[in-house]
């Protein structure tokens, strides 16, 4: 085993739950064929809301078959635990089990105390129906809420395990328990930047010698009664008439806002010698990562500066490899100001190369998955490296002169490595650089 400063971190497993499907094959087929996953909103009643379409993970029903191949004991444990998991936690566990199956690691090929988990999420909000009966029991004849009745008449009607469903550290906890992962564990709740941050922390955990294998993942949703209302109130969301499959159009001149979606994804990260010793298949290597935050004196996020600093940091860690950058996987939110801020940051970092370097954004196919977006997007680009070609930047029909990016087209070479970034409205940004393994083995 190499000493800690020289420990290389490779990707040996991947798993997804997203609007394009529940497998790597479904994700890739949807991307390369230019398919949009945006459709009618079905997961909750949207009466009274202006939103009627979203990118739901429709194939994920929460049934045990959604969790991939499982042995009998693990299947029994997960099925029993479903009642204390909200949908985001369920998607997280499913993506993790699929990634573990994909990596093929056997119990005798790792030490539990050297196998950890870092998982990102949004804040997990309760569903209104969790409180409906309890609140109704405390209403007066006039329909007002009587606070003095809450302790005796309202709270007894709450599910006693209610809180366990919505704690943001539960995805990592469930995954570690089901798979006997006793190594370093952490949970990250930094909105859309959570996935990239999880990859960065898991990578550093292996590099410093604290673990040999780490799960790095994230789960999130914007398709939720409370979160959807919040997005409609505080962010630019695509609405209106016309074909909703064309609404998510990052960097396009006529973009009108983000599409709301949901999903989760997981990478199995492994120290190189550990992976080679067990004959693991290697997808790629994490060669750079960085995180930065930038806001003005009033606390408003400065997305351009945060993205610029995080990309520069990640590319600097990648060293000479960064000179062989093959494509950019953009955050690509499809909001007017968000895309312009990101494009400006790309020009700050890459200069004139932005006009020739292909840029993809998987959000053009399935919108903003919240915290789940980043790792799904990284997996999409890793698959592109594996196939040697890029998928198209969907719905990019008219260039925005204020962006000046070169949209990826179907069949464009993916190159040797890519940089992927994410940023929150509060100015928290994270970036990773991943190199394809078939080019470095």
* Cβ–Cβ < 8 Å for 9, 271: yes
Quick check: is 23 in a domain?
Answer: yes
**80 and 148, same structural domain?**
no
- Looking at the structure of the chain, the number of domains it has is 2
Q: Given a cut of 50, is residue 398 above it in pLDDT? A: yes
Residue 161: pLDDT band (50, 70, 90) is confident
| Mean pLDDT score of the chain | 95
What pLDDT was estimated at residue 4? Answer: 55
Quick check: is 5 in a domain?
Answer: no
Cα distances (Å, whole numbers) of residue 251 to 19, 334, 337, 400: 21, 6, 10, 6
Mean pLDDT of 288-312: 96
Q: Give the angle subtended at the CA of 395 by the CAs of 371 and 374, to the nearest 5°.
A: 15
What pLDDT was estimated at residue 19? Answer: 98
Beta bridge partners of 423: 429
What pLDDT was estimated at residue 5? Answer: 59
Host H or E run for residue 417: strand 417-423
**295 and 435, same structural domain?**
yes
**312 and 266, same structural domain?**
yes
Alpha helices in 24-86 (DSSP H): 24-32, 72-81
**222 and 135, same structural domain?**
no
Quick check: is 4 in a domain?
Answer: no
Can you tell me whether residue 339 is helix, strand or coil?
helix
Quick check: is 6 in a domain?
Answer: no
Q: Given a cut of 80, is residue 439 above it in pLDDT? A: no
Quick check: is 372 in a domain?
Answer: yes
**323 and 235, same structural domain?**
yes
**159 and 40, same structural domain?**
no
The dihedrals phi and psi of 286, each to the nearest 5 degrees, come to -80, 110
What pLDDT was estimated at residue 47? Answer: 83
Q: What six digits make up the tokens of 11?
A: 């990707």
Closest among 203, 140, 194, 148 to 169, alpha carbons compared: 194
The percentage of the chain sitting over the pLDDT mark of 70, rounded to a whole number, equals 98
* Count of beta carbons in the 10 Å neighbourhood of residue 2: 11
Domain boundary residue, one of 138, 163, 188? 163
Read off the pLDDT of residues 49-82 as tens digits, 9 standing for 90 and up. 999 999 999 999 999 999 999 999 999 999 999 9
Quick check: is 61 in a domain?
Answer: yes
Residue 267: pLDDT band (50, 70, 90) is very high
**158 and 170, same structural domain?**
no
Read off the pLDDT of residues 308-367 as tens digits, 9 standing for 90 and up. 999 999 999 999 888 899 999 999 999 999 999 999 999 999 999 999 999 999 999 999
What pLDDT was estimated at residue 1? Answer: 43
Distance CA 408, CA 396 (A): 9
What pLDDT was estimated at residue 136? Answer: 95
**370 and 319, same structural domain?**
yes
The percentage of the chain sitting over the pLDDT mark of 90, rounded to a whole number, equals 91
Domain boundary residue, one of 163, 182, 217? 163
Read off the pLDDT of residues 418-428 as tens digits, 9 standing for 90 and up. 999 999 999 99
Beta bridge partners of 370: none
DSSP for 103-131?
Answer: HT--GGGS-GGGEEEEEEE---PPPGGGT
**373 and 258, same structural domain?**
yes
Distance CA 429, CA 406 (A): 22
* Cβ–Cβ < 8 Å for 260, 38: no
Distance CA 275, CA 12 (A): 7
**115 and 140, same structural domain?**
no
Distance CA 250, CA 220 (A): 20
The dihedrals phi and psi of 54, each to the nearest 5 degrees, come to -160, 175
Which range marks the domain in which residue 284 is found?
15-125+166-439
**316 and 236, same structural domain?**
yes
**155 and 76, same structural domain?**
no
* Count of beta carbons in the 10 Å neighbourhood of residue 156: 11
CATH code of 252's domain = 3.40.47.10
What pLDDT was estimated at residue 2? Answer: 47
Distance CA 344, CA 294 (A): 15
Quick check: is 1 in a domain?
Answer: no
Place of tokens 């093929």: 104
Can you tell me whether residue 159 is helix, strand or coil?
coil
Host H or E run for residue 285: strand 284-293
Residue 299: pLDDT band (50, 70, 90) is confident
Read off the pLDDT of residues 183-226 as tens digits, 9 standing for 90 and up. 999 999 999 999 999 999 999 999 999 999 999 999 999 999 99
Distance CA 392, CA 358 (A): 10
Quick check: is 79 in a domain?
Answer: yes
Read off the pLDDT of residues 90-128 as tens digits, 9 standing for 90 and up. 999 999 999 999 999 998 899 999 999 999 999 899 998
């Amino acid at each position: 085993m190499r000493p800690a400063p020289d420990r290389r971190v490779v990707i040996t497993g991947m798993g997804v739950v997203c609007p394009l499907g529940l497998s790597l094959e479904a994700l890739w087929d949807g991307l390369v064929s230019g398919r949009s996953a945006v459709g009618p909103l079905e997961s909750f009643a949207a009466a009274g809301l202006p939103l009627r379409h979203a990118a739901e993970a429709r194939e994920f029903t929460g049934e045990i078959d959604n969790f991939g191949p499982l042995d009998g004991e693990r299947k029994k444990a997960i099925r029993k635990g479903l009642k204390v998991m909200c949908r985001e936690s369920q998607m997280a566990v499913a993506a993790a089990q699929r990634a573990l199956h994909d990596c093929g690691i056997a119990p005798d090929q790792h030490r539990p105390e050297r196998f950890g988990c870092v998982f990102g999420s949004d804040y997990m909000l309760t569903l209104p129906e969790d409180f409906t009966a309890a609140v109704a029991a405390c209403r007066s004849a006039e329909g007002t809420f009587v606070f003095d009745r809450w302790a005796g008449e309202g709270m007894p009607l709450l599910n006693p395990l209610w809180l366990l469903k919505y704690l943001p550290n539960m995805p990592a906890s469930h995954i570690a328990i089901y798979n006997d992962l006793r190594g370093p564990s952490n949970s990250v709740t930094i909105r859309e930047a959570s996935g990239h941050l999880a990859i960065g922390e898991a990578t550093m955990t292996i590099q410093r010698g604290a673990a040999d294998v780490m799960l790095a993942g994230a789960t999130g949703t914007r398709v939720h009664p409370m979160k959807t209302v919040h997005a409609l109130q505080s962010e630019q969301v695509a609405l209106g008439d016309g074909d909703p499959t064309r609404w998510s159009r990052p960097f396009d001149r006529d973009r009108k806002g983000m599409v709301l979606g949901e999903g989760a994804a997981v990478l199995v990260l492994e120290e190189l010698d550990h992976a080679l010793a067990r004959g693991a298949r290697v997808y790629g290597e994490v060669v750079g990562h960085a995180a930065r935050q930038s806001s003005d004196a009033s606390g408003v996020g400065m997305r351009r500066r945060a993205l610029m600093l995080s990309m520069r940091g990640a590319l600097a860690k990648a060293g000479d490899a960064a000179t062989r950058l093959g494509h950019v996987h953009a955050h690509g939110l499809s909001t007017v100001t968000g895309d312009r801020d990101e494009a400006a940051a790309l020009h700050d970092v890459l200069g004139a190369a932005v006009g020739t370097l292909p840029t993809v954004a998987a959000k053009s196919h399935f919108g903003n998955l919240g915290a789940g977006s980043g790792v799904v997007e990284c997996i999409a680009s890793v698959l592109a490296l594996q196939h040697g070609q890029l998928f198209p930047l969907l719905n990019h029909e008219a260039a925005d002169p204020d962006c000046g990016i070169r949209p990826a087209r179907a069949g464009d070479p993916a190159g040797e490595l890519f940089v992927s970034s994410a940023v929150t409205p509060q100015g928290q940004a994270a970036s990773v650089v991943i190199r394809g393994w078939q080019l470095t083995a």
